[in-house]
Copies of this chain bind each other. A is one copy, B any other.
Amino acid sequence: MTQLEAARKGIITPEMEEVAKREGLSPEEVRERVSKGTVIIPRNRNRKNIQRIEGIGEGLRTKVNANIGTSSDYVNYQEELEKLKAAVEAGADAVMDLSTGGDLDYMRRRVLEECPVMVGTVPIYQAAIECRISGRPVISMEKEHLFDVIRKHAEDGVDFVTVHCGVTIQAIERMEREGRVLGVVSRGGAIITAWMKANRKQNPLYEYYDELLDIAKEYDMVLSLGDGLRPGCIADATDRAQIEELITIGELVQRAWEKGVQVMVEGPGHVPLHQIAANMVLQKRICHGAPFYVLGPVVTDVAPGYDHLVSAIGGAIAAANGADFLCYVTPSEHLRLPTVEDVREGVIAARIAAHAADIAKGVKGAAQWDLEMSKARWNLDWERQMELALDPVKARAMRGSRPPKKEEDVCTMCGEYCAIKMIRG
C-alpha cells in the first residue's frame, strides 16, 4: 500500500506519525490530508538510510529542495557529495541528484546512501545521456529504455522523480502559435520536445502514463509532474503553453489519485512578481489542491550572480500564496555549475523565503521563532540571538568581526546610541 492508499483506509502509518510530530499536528490531521492528496510523504519503499521523513503540502511547513549533480562539463563526485553535505547542514529538506556527467548510477547510489533526507531525480536525463554515449542522438531514445531507467531509479529507492508528462503535442503547438522569447528551458522538457518533434509522436510519458503509475505505485515513489514548458524568462510567463500544460497536469493528478499514487506538481520558473499569486491560485484550483513545488520563481532576468536572492523574493510570495515546496536557486544559476558555497547560500536563501511565507500563511509555530528572537533583542541577550539565528555561524562571525568597544551589550551599528538601550533606560 502507498501512503495514500493507507490513509484512505484510515491507517496511520509510522511516516504519518513522524510528520505529525514534526509539524505539531495530530496524526489524524496528517492522515486526512494524505488521504485527500493535499499532503504527500515522499519515501520510497526501497529507500534506505533516510533519517528524516517529511511531508509536503497543505498547512505544513514550506519545504526546501537543493539540486546537486555533475554536468557533462564538470564531473567531480566528491565535490557533489560535499554539496550534498552542505545542503543538508544548511537545512535542506530534500536533495535532487541532477547529474548529467560521469557514471550516473554510481553518483545516484552514493547520494541515496549518504543523504539523510528525501532524494529526487530526473530519470529522463539518464535515458538521453545513455543514447548520446552510445553514439546515437537524443531523439533516438526509446520509450522502453526511458521506462527502464525510471524503474531502475525506483528500485534504487529514489523518493520522488520528475516526469514531464504534461508536454503534449497540443501544448507544443500552442507554444509555437503564440511564440516565445526563450522557447523551452527545462532540460527534460527540451529533450521530450525535441524527441516529439523529430519522431512526430506523442510524449511517451503522457501516452503510457498508466505504466508510469504502476511503477510509482509499486515503490510508493512520488511522481513530481514536471513543467517542461515552464517559462524561461518573465516575458514568457503565464502564456498559453504553460497553462495548457498545467491543465493536462491537473488531469494527470486525478488519474494518479485514482490509482493510489502520490503526486505533486512542479511550477515556474521565471514569473514577474504581479503574476505569482495568480499562478498559485490557478495551480491549486486546476490540480485540486495537489502539493505545488516551484523553482524560484525568478522575478527578474537581469541579475545573474544574485539569482538566489531574486528567487527568494519570488519563492516567498509563491509560498505565501500556496506553494508548498521551494526548489532553491543558487547564485550561480545562468552562469556555471554551482560551488559548495553557492549551495549553502542557495539553501539559506530558500529557507528564509519559506519561513517568511510560513509566518504569512500562519503555519504552526512559525511566528514563535521570530518572537523568541525579538525578545532576545529586547533583552540585549546576544548569546540567545546567536543561538536563534537561522545561520548562527555567519551571525557570530559578522558580529565578532567588529565587536562593540565601549559597551558590551550593544553592537557597533549604534554603539551607545542603541535605541533599545535608550528606551529601556
Contacts and interface: CB of A to CB of B under 8 A. Distances in A.
Interface of A: 71-74, 100-101, 125, 128-129, 132, 138, 181-187, 189-191, 193-194, 232-236, 272-274, 299-306, 308-310, 312-313, 316-317, 320, 331-339, 348-349, 352-353, 355-357, 359-361, 367, 369-371, 373-375, 377-378, 385, 388-391, 394-395, 398-399, 401-406, 410-417, 419-420, 422-425
B313 A235 contact: no
A412 B101 CA distance: 11
A300 to B, nearest CB: 5
A174 to B, nearest CB: 16
A276 to B, nearest CB: 9
Contact of A399 (B335, B369, B404, B406): B335
B73 A415 contact: yes
Contacts of A312: 309, 312-313
A72 B337 contact: no
Report the copy number of this chain in the oligomer. Answer: 2
Contacts of A355: 300, 302-303
Contacts of A308: 309
Contacts of A417: 71-72, 100, 125, 128-129, 187, 191
Contact of A184 (B353, B402, B410, B423): B423
Q: 10 tightest A-B contacts by CB? A: A233-B374, A72-B415, A73-B415, A190-B419, A274-B360, A305-B394, A336-B402, A273-B360, A299-B356, A190-B422
Contact of A412 (B74, B359, B425): B74
Given A378-B183, A398-B332, A406-B73, A304 B385 contact: yes
Given A389-B304, A391-B305, A405 B73 contact: yes
Given A232-B419, A305-B395, 12 more contacts: A71-B412, A190-B419, A235-B370, A235-B371, A273-B356, A274-B359, A300-B356, A300-B359, A303-B391, A335-B398, A336-B402, A338-B413
B398 A302 contact: no
